[in-house]
């Protein structure tokens, strides 16, 4: 490894900040950009120079490319009245992502991506279900207050007070609608923590 090239690369403060972050754990581009408050394009340029200098490596997991430090590099600079010397020593990192540690991290990254994917799928299904429910509410109820009450229950409201405050409707009207929906078998009143709450009948 060329010493002058290495010193030039790490002479940049932002590249040193990136190396410090990667010394803690492997990261992907947007994670580095967010943590260090840098533009993603600038991060990519710095990562490219660090990679070309042999200071970091990367691997892809799912849609992400993780960058990490995988070896120890020691830089020695000796300055005295009669001597100026720089020396770089290079060895495999004992704590690097080699062998079992590398495999375990890849498994963790894969699991994280899988969780993110499932969360997106669940959110999409939930959104579609709410939209279908809203269409059904429009079909079943012509009264605006009834629609508002049912919509509130779908979104998690449990008491007449919550519904009344959310929509700015009189408490008595909300309670009357709840009782009507209960008589229709559409909602039910159940006990929760010593108090009664209203829920859609499943």
Q: In whole angstroms, what is the distance from residue 151 CA to residue 135 CA?
A: 11
Question: Along the 202 residues of the chain, how does pLDDT read in single tens digits?
Answer: 567 778 888 889 999 999 998 888 888 999 999 999 999 999 999 999 999 888 888 888 778 889 988 777 777 777 877 677 777 776 554 444 455 555 666 676 667 677 767 877 887 777 777 677 667 666 676 677 787 888 888 778 888 888 888 777 888 888 888 888 888 888 888 888 888 888 877 6
Q: In whole angstroms, what is the distance from residue 153 CA to residue 178 CA?
A: 10
- Report residue 132 as tokens: 């279908």
Contacts of 160 by beta carbon, 8 Å cutoff, 6+ apart: 171, 174, 175, 178, 198
Sign (positive/negative) of CA torsion 157, 161, 165, 170?
positive
Domains observed in the chain: 3-96 (1.10.10.10), 117-200 (1.10.10.10)
Whether the model clears a pTM of 0.95, i.e. scores above it, the answer is: no
């Amino acid at each position: 490894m060329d010493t002058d090239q290495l010193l030039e690369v790490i002479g940049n403060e932002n590249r040193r900040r990136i190396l410090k972050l990667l010394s803690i754990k492997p990261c992907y581009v947007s994670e580095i950009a967010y943590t260090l408050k840098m533009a993603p394009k600038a991060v990519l340029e710095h990562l490219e120079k660090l990679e070309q200098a042999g200071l970091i490596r990367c691997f892809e997991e799912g849609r992400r490319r993780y960058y990490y430090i995988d070896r120890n590099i020691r830089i020695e600079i000796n300055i005295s009245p009669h001597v100026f010397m720089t020396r770089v020593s290079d060895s495999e990192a004992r704590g690097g992502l080699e062998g079992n540690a590398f495999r375990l991290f890849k498994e963790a990254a894969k699991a994280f991506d899988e969780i993110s994917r499932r969360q997106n799928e669940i959110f999409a299904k939930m959104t579609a279900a709410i939209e279908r429910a809203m269409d059904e509410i429009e079909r079943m109820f012509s009264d605006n207050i009834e629609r508002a009450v049912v919509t509130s229950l779908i979104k998690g409201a449990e008491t007449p007070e919550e519904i009344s405050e959310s929509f700015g409707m009189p408490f008595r009207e909300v309670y009357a609608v709840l009782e009507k929906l209960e008589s229709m078998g559409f909602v039910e009143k159940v006990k929760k923590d010593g108090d009664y709450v209203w829920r859609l009948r499943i």
